[in-house]
Structure 1
Amino acid sequence: MSQNIYDSIDFFESYSKYPRMENGLAGASEWPLLETMLPSNLVSKTVLDLGCGDGWFSRWALDQGAKAVCAMDVSKNMLSRARALSPPDRYSAITFRQVDIEMLEGQDGGLDPEAYDVAFSGLALHYLVNLEAALRQVFRSLRPGGLFVFSVEHPIFTAPQRPGFKKTGAAQDWPLSSYFAEGEREVDWLGAPVRKQHRTISSYLKTLRTVGFEVVVVDEWGVSDDDSRKHPDWPNDGGIPRFLLISAMKRVDAADSL
C-alpha cells in the first residue's frame, strides 16, 4: 500500500504552498516538455489520470476536448482540493476516485479493460513498490494504440541514500551514489519522512517492455539557463536532471500480457 503522506494535515498545508499547487500548470516547469509527448488531439478521447493530485491535468484534458476523465488519487485531501477546483458546470465529465494505484488490480472501481485512449501520471509512480503490477493494469486499461505518458523523479535524483545538494564555492553539487542499488529511499521533505522507490532508467524501460508497452519517447528535465527550463523556486543547480519523462504505446497488434 502506498504511503499516504498527503493526508497528513501539517504536510499537506506545507505542500499547498508549493508553486505547482498554487499555480497549477504554470507551476509545473516540466509541463511544456511533457505536453509535447501527449497526443496533439484529445477531442472525444477518454483519459485516465493516475495520482491526479489537485486535478490540474484532468482539467487541462477536458479543456482540450476530452470526452471523459477518470482521475484517481489515494489522498482525500488532494481529491477534496481537486473537486473544489473543478466546478461541475464546467468539469462534470471528470470522475474523481480515491484509489491507491499501488493496488489497482484488487480494488473496486479499478481499471476496466480497454476503457481509455490516453493514460497519464505526473510524479506519482516513483512512490510505488510494485510498479510492474500497476503498469500491467494501465496496459490492460488502454485501447490498442493508446498512449501512456508519465513523469517520475529522475533516478539520478532518487539514487543517493542521503540526498542533498553540497555547496562547493558558488556551485551546488549533487552527490551521485548507490545508483544501481534499487529500492526504498526515505527522505526528509517538508518536515516529514517520505518514502520513495529508486529505480534506474533501464529498469523503468525494461518494466514497460515486460508488460507489453512499446517505448515511444524518453526525455529528461532539469533547470538550465534556457528560459523554457526555469523553476519558480529552484536555482540553476548545474544541470542536475530532476524528472524523467516517458511515453509508451499499447501497439494495435498487442495482446494483454496479464
Structure 2
Amino acid sequence: MEYVARVPGPPLDRYIDDLYCLTGTPRHRRMDVPPMPSGHLFLNLGDPVVLRDSDPATAPEAMADGWFMGVWTRRFTVEYPSAVRVVGVHFKPWGLSPFIGAPASELRDRWAPVDDLWQRSVDTIRNRVGETDCAATALQALEEELLARLAAPTRSLGLVRYAARHLEAVHGAVPIAALAEATGVSGKHLIDQFRFHVGVTPKRVARIYRFSRLILSVDARRPVDWSALAHRAGYFDQAHFGKEFKAFTGRTPSEFLDLRRRLPAEPDFPPDAGPMPAG
C-alpha cells in the first residue's frame, strides 16, 4: 500500500499529528492494533473495512463510510478489503474534543459513524475528498473541512495539552501527583479534564506512552534484551511488564518477536510501526 501524509498548518497542527491517504493492496488483510496515544477519523472511499474489538462482547462492524475512534486502552483488529482507499486523521491525544462537540470519553475504546457526531455530513465530505485521485488535493480538502469544524480552544484544553505534552516528552515516566503539581491544579481536576478532552485518565495516557515507546523500539532483526528494553521504557516490575504486554498485544514478548521475524514491518511505512499482522 501507499501511505501519503502531511502535517496540517496552524492552528490544526496543535491538535493533529498528520492527515494521510492509504491506498492500494494490503500486505496483510488483518492487523492487530495495540493502544496508541491518538484519536482517529477515517473516511472510507473504497469497500467496507471491518473492525473487531478484542472484547468478545462487542460485535464486529463493517464500516463503509466514515468513523471516529477515540483513544483505545486495549487492542483491536482492522480487516482491510482487497483494495484499500482510506483518507484519515491522526489526532493528538487531546486533539479530538475540539472537533466532535462531545466529551472524548464517549469515544473511549469505541468507534462511531461520522454522522453520529457530524450530522448528515459524511457523504458530502466523502464526495468532496474522494472526487480526486490526487492525494495532495484530497488532503487539502480534508484540512479545509477540519478547519471549518474546529471549535475555539478552552482554558481547560490548554491545561490538558500542556500536561499531555509533558507526558509525551518523558514517555509517561512521571508520577501523576507530580504532573498535577507542575500544572498548578489538583489531581482530581487534572483527571476530570483528561477524561473530558482525551477520554482517559492521565495515568492511562502515561501507560500508553510508556508502552508505545517500548514497542516502537523493538528491532526484531537483532537479539532483544526484553529486561533492558522494559527498564528503559519505565517498567520496573517484569511480571507487570509481561502482563501489560500480553494485554496490549494479545501475545507474549517472545510470541511478538517470532511474529515480527516471520512477518517484518515494512521500513518507513507508519501503518506497520505499531500494528502487527493478526495471522
TM-score (normalised: structure 1): 0.30
Structure with greater Cα Rg: 2
Q: Name the one with the larger strand percent.
A: 1
Q: Which has the higher contact order (CA 8 A, sep 6+)?
A: 2
